[in-house]
Every structure is written in C-alpha cells, then in structure tokens.
C-alpha cells in the first residue's frame, strides 16, 4: 500500500469497464464510447483518434498501429499488424543516400515516410470486431478537431523541444506553431484540415484516406520533396492478422506483438530474467536495475541483429523470433549470474513518441493498442490540404544492404512499437503497454516483473523510477533514489541522468477472483485510468 502522506495516485478500481490512456480527454472518450454501446475495440480506436489531436507529436493518421484483442474464453489474443511499408520504387533513392555517404535515413527525408497503416487498421478492426461503425467512432475526434483541443502540460513541455523540426517545414509550422512559438498549456489548437480528413474517413472508411483527394494530397506532398511514393503504394496498402509472439513468465502467459514489432525482445528479456530470484530484490534497488540493464543490452543486441519483416528474404521467415529467443536462452544463465553482453550501438528512435491505450469492456474483452508516428512530430512533413503529418518510421530500417531489416522496397521496417497482454490460458488477465521508442520492450519486462515478482498493483508498478541501457550507457530517471546512481556505478555501469522521463505506461488488470478491474496510468504523462 502506498504512503498516503506522500504525492502519488491510487490504482483505479471498477466493476464493469475501464479505459486507460495518456490524456484525460482520450480516456473520457473511451468511457463515453463504451457507455454509448460500443465495445473495447470501438473505445480504443475512438481514444486513439482523439489522441492524434491531443498529442499530435506522438501519433496521428499519418502513422501506424498494432492491436491485441482477447475475449473471455480465448486462450490467446487476436493480433493485427497495422504497420506500413516502404514505397515499392524506393531502391534508387536508397542507393542515392548510400552514395552520399549516409549511414541512416534522415528523419525529414521522404524515405523516412512509410505508407501510413493506422487508418486501414482502424477500418478493418472496426468492421470485423466493433459495434458502432467508424462514423460514430470518429465523431469525437472530428468535433475536437473543429473546436480545438487545449494543450495539456506534458504535451506543451514536449512541444517546445521540437521547434527546429517544426520550423523547417512551412506547412508544419503553420499547423503546429502558435506564430513562431510552441503553444503554451491551455492553448486551443483547431485543426481544420484534419477535421475534413477525419470526416472523409468517417464517411468512406479506409478508401477515404488511401484513395481520392486525401491520397492525392499525400502523394503530391511526398513527390514535391523527391519521394519515390506512387499512388499504388497507398491504394494497395493492407494490414493483416498475425499470430502474437507468446511466452511465459512465472507461470503467466505473456503475449506480445510479433516481428516486425520488437515484442519478441520482451519475451527475450523475460527469458533472461526468469532464472534470477527477482522477488528477493528491491523493485527499485540497484540489483534490480542492474539485472534489467544487463538483460536489455543482450536483448537489444539480438534485436538489432535479427529483427525484420518476416517477408524480408535477408532474414528468417518468422522475422527473427526464433533466433532472438534462442540467443536469449543461451544468455540466460550468464545474465542471471551477473554476466554482461556487448552493448548494441544506439539507434535512432526517441524516448516517448508513441501513444498506448488499454480498454476492457463489460464483456471482459481486453484491447491493447499502440499507435505512433515514431519520432516526435514524425518526419515533420505535413500535407497542406489534408493536414496529415507523416511518420518517420522508415528511419527504423538499416540503411546498409545485405542484412536483415535493411531498407527494401515494399517491406515493413523493424518496429519499436509493442502492445502486450497476459492471460491464464483461457481468458485475458492484463492489457498493458509502455510507450517510449527503444524503451518499450525494456519497459514491458520491468513492468511485468514488478507486478509478477513483487506483487505490485499496476499503478504502483508504473510509478516506480525507470532506467534504460542503450549504447553502453545506463540512463536513470531523476526521480530515483539519489543513492541509486552511485550504486550502479559501483556495479560497473556508465550512468547518466535521463534528460526526459522514460516513456509512459497504461495497464488494466482483470481480477477474476474478485470480479473487479484494476487500472493504472503513468504520471509521467497527462492521462488517467477511469472505470465504472
């Protein structure tokens, strides 16, 4: 139990249904959708659509998504891959970048823009599993775009850090700056173009986005910048159902989004952590952070070696899942005994540029959904008529040829996005996710350990300070115990204070024995969990 004389927040308890997001208005949208007769799928899509306006630096219709859906009675969740592919004619542009000496795709280069996958996923999931229809689901986002969403405090703080990117593109500056400055907290930001575009999607579904005037605007914008994208890249885009990556930890079934998602790395970290007696460790002590860091170094190295689109002929046909898990099992005893792996070099990504939504409805259907444009404000490229802000997901490709995950026309890049679910073999138990670029897989493993090894409720587990090992450096949040960093240095880590909070999280636990829902939402963001 938390100390009620200290700042903090309690877990949220409810009987029938619950939603948790990174913004109060998005959580309220999800709850109102449920009370209007919608189910968890409807509510999650409605909340994510609203978050594209409330947190435009994190997500939007120019990005990608993943969703896990598990119903009571199901042994495992359904999983939908709503991520986009590189343009089919991208190869000459990739070769030009290589000839220019580039080692990675620049964030604002048109090659950074993969075909947005989110809208197709929303339409397909709404049709296959929703109750209300996309027109009703998108109505709150359309109204908010018209009226203007007030900027929340954490969002305002993030916005100010990205002025150079926003100022580098005239349309982006007009769309996302208040004059020459980032909007202050409380500023209302109407998005007229986005209102029209969301209305087109509400009316015509995915066809209203990937075809017609919206698609024409997206294509013209990319072509003007020298992009290799063609109309067929948009009209031909489809997401697909895939089997989730599955494992277990302390007897609990754990499901993660599979390759091209880095969800396999969550399972790899858990496999390396399981031999250790973590329950005997302080969940915020140096030994716990040290173990997570050492497992992370090994896991990220496996990710950067093997993770790819399963369609990539330079990788394995499962996207590297089996190779990653084989490497994790081989390293498990060494990691548990205090061994280290050679750290992988830091890759582009950012620390929190994603939104995650968890919803459980009155039928005990749980949804775990992540939606993102990758870097903060994605590529920084905005379309003038439609207001679409493009993702920068193409920077996740490896640029050098001949290896798994390198930039190939028509393929999906390796993805940092992860959504998670736990179950007991016959029903969902917890819908959860941790936002934050490369931190996501690390955050999933740490959150699960704090809940399953230490018995913390979702809110208490989310609240604890975080650390992240990347590129040979262990970043520690400034809210940690001041004695933690010196102790980690004593354990052989190069340590520095994190410049920004490490990610954000939401989780909803179904307590089947007591018939209640228990939710948590990250205080590092503006959001909350609500239920009824």
pLDDT of 2: 78
Q: How far is CA 305 from CA 226, 323, 404, in A?
A: 31, 9, 7
Examine the pLDDT at 350 and tell me if it is beyond 50.
no
| Band of residue 344 on the pLDDT scale cut at 50, 70, 90 | low
What is the percent of the chain where pLDDT is above 90?
91
Kindly provide the b/e burial profile for residues 371-404, where b requires at least 16 CB atoms within 10 angstroms of the residue's own CB: bbbbbbbbbbbbbebbbbbbbbbbbbbbbeeeeb
Tens of pLDDT, residue by residue over 54-63, are: 999 999 999 9
pLDDT at 348: 39
- Give the position of tokens 């736990």: 422
Q: Give the pLDDT of residue 4.
A: 87
More confident residue, 345 or 28: 28
C-alpha to C-alpha distance for 137 and 286, rounded to whole angstroms? 45
Token pair 């939007």 is found at 60
pLDDT for residue 343 = 66
387: Cβ–Cβ under 8 A, 6 or more apart, which residues?
175, 191, 192, 193, 194, 196, 197
Contacts with 221 (C-beta within 8 Å, 6 or more apart), sequence order: 381, 382, 383, 384, 388, 390
pLDDT band at 400 (very low <50, low <70, confident <90, very high): confident
Query: Average pLDDT, whole number, for the chain?
Result: 95
Which residue in the block uniquely carries the two structure tokens 């898990």? 325
State the Cα–Cα distance between residues 211 and 188, nearest whole angstrom: 31
Q: Is residue 526 a contact partner of residue 515, using CB atoms and an 8 Å limit? A: no
Does residue 409 surpass a pLDDT of 90? yes
DSSP 430: E
Tell me whether strands 528-531 and 473-476 are parallel, antiparallel or unpaired.
unpaired
Structure confidence at residue 345 as a pLDDT band (50, 70, 90): low
Mean pLDDT of 411-418: 95
For the chain, domains (ranges, CATH) are 24-65+76-237+383-396 (no CATH), 245-350+418-531 (3.60.20.40)
* 162 or 179, higher pLDDT: 162
Tokens representing 48? 């994510």
Residue 523 CA: distances (Å) to CA of 9, 47, 156, 376, 504 = 8, 18, 15, 19, 8
> pTM here?
0.96
Q: How confident is the model at residue 82 (pLDDT cuts 50, 70, 90)?
A: very high
- Long-range contacts, 199-204 (Cβ 8 Å, 24+): 199/142, 201/61, 201/119, 201/122, 201/123, 201/134, 201/138, 202/134, 202/135, 202/137, 202/138, 202/139, 202/142, 203/135
Read off the pLDDT of each residue in 246-257 and give the average, rounded to a whole number: 97
Question: Measuring CA to CA, which residue among 46, 84, 72, 430 is closest to residue 201?
Answer: 46
Smallest Cα–Cα separation from 60: which of 372, 352, 492? Answer: 372
| pLDDT tens-place string over residues 270-317 | 999 999 999 999 999 999 999 999 999 999 999 999 999 999 999 899
Lowest mean pLDDT among 215-229, 275-289, 340-354: 340-354
């Amino acid at each position: 139990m938390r100390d009620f004389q200290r700042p903090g927040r309690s877990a949220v308890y409810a009987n029938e249904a619950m939603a948790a997001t990174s913004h109060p208005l998005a959580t309220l949208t999800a709850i109102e959708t449920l009370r209007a007769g919608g189910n968890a799928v409807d509510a999650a899509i409605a909340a994510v659509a609203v978050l594209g306006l409330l947190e435009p630096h994190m997500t939007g219709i120019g990005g990608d998504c993943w969703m896990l859906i598990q119903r009571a009675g199901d042994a495992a969740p359904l999983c939908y891959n709503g991520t986009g592919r590189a343009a089919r004619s991208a190869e000459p542009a990739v070769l030009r970048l290589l000839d220019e000496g580039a080692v990675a795709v620049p964030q604002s280069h048109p090659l950074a823009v993969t075909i947005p996958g989110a809208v197709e996923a929303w339409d397909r999931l709404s049709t296959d599993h929703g109750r209300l229809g996309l027109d009703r689901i998108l109505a709150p986002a359309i109204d908010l775009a018209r009226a203007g969403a007030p900027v929340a405090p954490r969002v305002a703080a993030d916005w100010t850090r990205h002025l150079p990117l926003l100022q580098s593109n005239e349309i982006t500056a007009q769309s996302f700056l208040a004059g020459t400055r980032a909007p202050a907290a409380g500023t209302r930001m109407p998005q007229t173009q986005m209102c029209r575009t969301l209305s087109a999607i509400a009316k015509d579904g995915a066809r209203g986005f990937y075809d017609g005037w919206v698609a024409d605007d997206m294509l013209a914008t990319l072509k003007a910048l020298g992009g290799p994208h063609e109309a067929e890249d948009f009209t031909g885009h489809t997401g697909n159902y895939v089997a989730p990556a599955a494992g277990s930890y302390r007897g609990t079934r754990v499901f993660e989004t599979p390759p091209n998602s880095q969800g396999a790395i969550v399972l790899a970290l858990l496999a390396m952590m399981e031999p250790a007696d973590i329950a005997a460790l302080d969940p915020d002590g140096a030994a716990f952070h040290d173990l997570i860091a050492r497992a992370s170094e090994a896991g990220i190295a496996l990710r950067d070696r093997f993770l790819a689109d399963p369609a990539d002929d330079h990788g394995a046909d499962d996207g590297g899942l089996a190779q990653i898990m084989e490497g994790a099992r081989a390293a498990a005893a060494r990691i548990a005994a205090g061994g280290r792996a050679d750290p992988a070099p830091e890759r582009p990504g950012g620390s929190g540029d994603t939104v995650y939504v968890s919803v459980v409805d009155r039928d005990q259907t749980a949804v775990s959904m992540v939606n993102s444009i990758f870097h903060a404000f994605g590529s920084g490229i905005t379309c003038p008529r439609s207001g679409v802000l493009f993702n920068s997901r193409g920077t996740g490709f490896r640029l050098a040829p001949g290896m798994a995950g390198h930039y190939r026309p028509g393929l999906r890049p390796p993805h940092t996005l992860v959504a998670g679910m736990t179950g007991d073999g016959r029903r969902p138990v917890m819908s959860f996710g941790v936002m934050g670029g490369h931190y996501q897989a690390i955050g999933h493993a740490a959150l699960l350990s704090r809940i399953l090894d230490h018995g913390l409720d979702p809110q208490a587990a989310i609240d604890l300070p975080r650390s992240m090992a990347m590129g040979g450096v262990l970043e520690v949040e400034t809210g940690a115990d001041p004695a933690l960093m010196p102790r980690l240095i004593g354990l052989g880590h190069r340590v520095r204070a994190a410049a920004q909070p490490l990610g954000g999280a939401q989780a909803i636990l179904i307590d089947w024995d007591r018939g209640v829902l228990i939710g948590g939402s990250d205080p590092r963001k503006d959001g909350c969990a609500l239920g009824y």
